[in-house]
Amino acid sequence: MIVRPKPNLIGVLTSLKGSIAKRIAWRSLLVTLLASAIVLIETLHPSYFSKVSATPFTLLGLSLSIFMSFRNNACYDRWYEARKAWGDELEDPFGRDENDLPTDALVRSIERDVLAALGVTQLPPQLEPVDYVLN
């Protein structure tokens, strides 16, 4: 079983693993540049544009951001790959690989509980992960 330290908020927000941010970075940059050019032209030559309310654009931006967050979190491709890999890995869950069940740690935990219930004060130490792997 792989045991990793819990990431902080900055680590979660800046994580790119499983994110579509890499795929859409160029598109986002181009849209930002286009929007900046339109704002610049509108500032220099306001007569080129008619007065339009910002409400439709705000609603469009909100709906796009919500859609992208759902797309980012529930990407079908990633789900399919993870399910396929997980299915292959469950064939032998009692081995000694990193992703197998930590049977030694489970047995040690049960042993400590039984000895504590019997009143033994010198309990064996709990097993700790070595290089983020708990066996």
Residue 133 has what DSSP assignment? Answer: B
pLDDT at position 133:
75
Q: Which of 70, 133, 73, 74 is nearest to 105 (CA)?
A: 133
Distance CA 24, CA 75 (A): 14
Parse the chain into domains and list their residue ranges: 19-74
Distance CA 23, CA 9 (A): 23
Give me the residues paired with residue 2 across strands: 133
| Distant-in-sequence, close-in-space partners of 48: CB < 8 Å, separation ≥ 6 | 41, 42
Answer for the pair 69, 19: CB distance below 8 angstroms, yes or no.
Answer: no
pLDDT at position 71:
57
pLDDT at position 127:
85
pLDDT tens, residue order, the chain (135 aa): 556 677 787 877 777 666 777 778 888 899 899 989 988 988 898 887 777 777 888 888 888 877 776 655 555 555 556 666 555 555 666 777 776 778 888 888 999 999 999 999 899 998 888 777 777
pLDDT at position 78:
58
